[in-house]
């Protein structure tokens, strides 16, 4: 039995690149068998939505005993440029996911990796977990009400476990302290070619208050609503590890507090579902080092501009010809982060009271 015949072609990332799904299914089957899995075929191969930089495909691996193993492929297609901020390969991401799992972080288990010579590109297959990732649904679904109550504290616990992880020395992760991170952020802002006075003011504010560096820990790099799978039982899995690197713990703790991830719940700074107090309590209870409030605020301003710069970068890419609906939508959010930065850097300005009165 060979790979089940899927449709001969499907749209790839950004809805522009056709993908030979039959060839992709054959590559998956070969990789699974080479790993030692008793697989007979690939069934139900279909592209998943989302994923701004990597493709995601769901499929079932038909086993010799008649069972089906539900999996998700995460891959970098051949010929596509990699993010300069991320890991060197998707295979390195798979190794990192395995390391995080050993540290006690909930992740989808890695089933197998695509070999370097695979025509399907660079990628790995992982267990298909059940839960919700869409931020607005995580915050509103009634069946997740109990999960939301303890989610911020649970996120703190998970980050503490990750930050205590060891054994990542062989992965070639970049290491970046606050000053280097700020230099990189400013450089990326300059490459957008866009004049944004609020960003310039934020950069000056950050330059004047750079926190001290200290020993670096393993960071997820994109720990936020949208990359967390949530079910009625709580946090099911952490996804999207491509921006992992070494740095200060507050980098991760601040990223989940960026206003854009709150989804109309500004009163709950942690992902729209919890408080900083609960996040930091969970972090401390799981062994995380104390976090200075001023340092956390610095990183929140940094991360808000970081997201704004990513949005502005999406606008630059769109104008340069990398046209996609997703890219255009992300690009428009740069102005949203300017508003957030103004509120963060001048929280007592009378304009905010006037806005609330309207």
Q: Each residue's pLDDT tens digit in the chain (358 positions)?
A: 344 444 444 444 444 467 889 999 999 999 999 999 999 999 999 998 765 568 899 999 999 999 999 999 999 877 665 555 567 788 889 999 999 999 999 999 999 999 888 888 889 999 999 999 999 999 999 999 999 999 999 999 999 999 999 999 888 899 999 999 999 999 999 999 888 999 999 999 999 999 999 999 999 999 999 999 999 999 999 999 999 999 999 999 999 999 999 998 989 999 999 999 999 999 999 999 999 999 999 999 999 999 999 999 887 777 777 767 777 778 788 889 999 999 999 888 887 765 554 3
CATH of 135-349, one of 3.90.1200.10, 3.40.190.10, 3.40.50.1370, 1.10.3190.10: 3.90.1200.10
Whole-number pLDDT of residue 287:
98
pLDDT of residue 200: 96
End-to-end CA distance of the chain: 66
User: At 331, is the secondary structure helix, strand, or coil?
Assistant: helix
271 close to 262: Cβ distance less than 8 angstroms: yes
Cβ 153 vs Cβ 273: under 8 Å: no
Residue 53: the pLDDT is 66
What are the residue ranges spanned by the domains of the chain?
10-127, 135-349
Nearest to 314 by CA among 179, 147, 194, 171: 194
Q: Do domains 10-127 and 135-349 have the same CATH topology?
A: no
With contact defined as beta carbons under 8 Å apart, do 40 and 64 qualify? yes
User: Residue 120: which of 75, 72, 54, 90 has the closest Cα?
Assistant: 75
Residue 87 has what pLDDT? 76
- Residue pair 329/315 in contact (Cβ under 8 Å)? The answer is no
Per the CB < 8 A criterion, the answer to whether 336 and 260 are in contact is yes
Query: What whole-number distance in Å separates Cα of residue 125 and Cα of residue 70?
Result: 10
Half-sphere exposure (CA, 13 Å, Cβ side) for 166? 0
**Class in CATH terms, 10-127:** alpha beta
């Amino acid at each position: 039995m060979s790979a089940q015949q899927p449709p001969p072609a499907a749209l790839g990332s950004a809805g522009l690149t056709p993908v030979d799904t039959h060839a992709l299914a054959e590559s998956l089957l070969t990789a699974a068998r080479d790993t030692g899995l008793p697989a007979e075929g690939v069934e139900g191969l279909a592209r998943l939505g989302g994923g701004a930089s990597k493709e995601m495909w769901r499929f079932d691996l038909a086993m010799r005993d008649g069972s089906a193993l539900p999996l998700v492929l995460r891959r970098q297609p051949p010929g596509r440029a990699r993010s300069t901020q991320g890991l060197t390969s998707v295979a390195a991401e798979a190794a990192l996911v395995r390391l995080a799992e050993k540290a006690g972080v909930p992740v989808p288990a890695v089933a197998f990796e695509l070999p370097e010579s695979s025509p399907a590109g660079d990628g790995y297959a992982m267990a298909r977990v059940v839960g919700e990732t869409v931020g607005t649904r995580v915050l509103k679904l009634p069946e997740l009400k109990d999960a939301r109550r303890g989610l911020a504290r649970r996120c703190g616990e998970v980050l503490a476990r990750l930050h205590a992880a060891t054994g990542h020395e062989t992965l070639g992760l970049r290491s970046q302290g606050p000053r280097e991170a700020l230099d990189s952020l400013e450089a990326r802002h300059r490459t957008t070619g866009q004049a944004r006075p609020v960003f310039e003011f934020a950069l000056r504010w950050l330059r004047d208050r750079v926190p001290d560096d200290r020993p670096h820990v393993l960071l997820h790099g994109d720990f936020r609503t949208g990359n967390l799978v949530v079910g009625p039982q709580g946090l099911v899995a952490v996804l999207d590890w491509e921006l992992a690197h070494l740095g200060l713990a507050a980098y991760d703790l601040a990223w989940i507090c960026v206003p854009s991830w709150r989804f109309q719940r500004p009163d709950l700074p942690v992902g729209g579902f919890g408080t900083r107090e609960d996040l930091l309590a969970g972090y401390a209870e799981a062994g995380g080092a104390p976090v200075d409030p001023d340092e956390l605020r610095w990183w929140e301003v940094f991360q808000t501009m970081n997201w704004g710069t990513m949005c502005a970068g999406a606008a630059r890419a769109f104008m340069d010809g990398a046209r996609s609906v997703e890219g255009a939508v992300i690009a428009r959010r740069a102005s949203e982060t300017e508003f957030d930065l103004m509120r963060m850097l001048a929280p007592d300005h009378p304009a905010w009271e006037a806005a609330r009165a309207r």
